[in-house]
Amino acid sequence: MSAMLLEVERLSKSFGGVQAVQDVSFGVAKGEMVAVIGPNGAGKTTLFNMISGVIPPTGGSVRFQGGVINGKKPHELAMLGMTRTFQNLQLFSDMTVLENVMVGFHTRLTGGIFSAGFRLPLARREEKQAQEQAFSCLEQIGLAHLAWERAGTLPYGTQRLVEIARAAVSRPSLILLDEPMAGLNPQESKQLVDVLLAMREQGFTFLFVEHDMETVMAIADRIVVLDYGKKIAEGAPEEIARHPDVIKAYLGEEAV
């Protein structure tokens, strides 16, 4: 696993006497799109929250770009090149689409509060750079025409694309997506799939949790399956689709 961008090694989390995640290990290589799936209560969200620094693990480790990141906060991970979206949208509804995406560029800024507060030349240059980068990112996903619209006025599926643009604007090494298809209609889901596949072609790397199995099978290079907090399978989509333990976990019956 030494060539992996992200390395999860025997990661565990317990809440009191409940073992939510137990000894889960896998990796994500640069340029991959890896999905984490499993029935409700399988530990997917807990696993995601540990990787992204929302909660600390009880045991095991997470390595990112070769360094252990246990204990680091989400903003520290963003500085290192790991960004995340959430199942529930977290946009600033009264800000424009462009301004929302510009927020994601903050990890690249070096001017500090003093420079920004007094509108020093460095702050003005960085703001211009952030605006240009945000607009370019919106162009790449087909939302440039909405740059000056207030985010809160847009359809839910479009807001989801804005959130992904914000996560991508700083060109992070890894983007974590928490159920990106949640709440989308079929047309919005297809649009998002097209955007994610195009981003992968541009060199982005993804780790995502998703319930929509049609989407998972269409875009994932590799799938990690959890059940009751344990990893029960890992492999390519076609392998996972016929894996007996996965079939049993989802359908409650043995494969025939």
Is residue 7 domain-resident? yes
First to last CA, the chain: 34
Task: Taking each helix axis as running N to C, give the angle between helix 156-168 and helix 186-201, from 0 to 180 degrees, rounded to the nearest 10.
Answer: 20
Same domain, yes or no, for 160 and 181?
no
- The band of 1, judged by pLDDT with boundaries at 50, 70 and 90, is very low
Same domain, yes or no, for 154 and 203?
no
pTM of the model: 0.87
DSSP character at residue 209:
E
Is residue 86 domain-resident? no
Is residue 36 domain-resident? yes
Domain count, the chain: 2
Give the position of tokens 């992070």.
172
Among 177, 154, 157, which Cα is nearest to 98's? Answer: 154
- The band of 119, judged by pLDDT with boundaries at 50, 70 and 90, is low
Q: For all residues of the chain together, what is the average pLDDT?
A: 89
Range of the domain at 115: 91-171
Among 209, 204, 200, 149, which Cα is nearest to 178's? Answer: 209
pLDDT digits (tens, 9 = 90+) for 192-251: 999 999 999 999 999 999 999 999 999 999 999 999 999 999 999 999 999 999 999 886
Same domain, yes or no, for 204 and 134?
no
Tokens standing for 165?
Answer: 């643009």
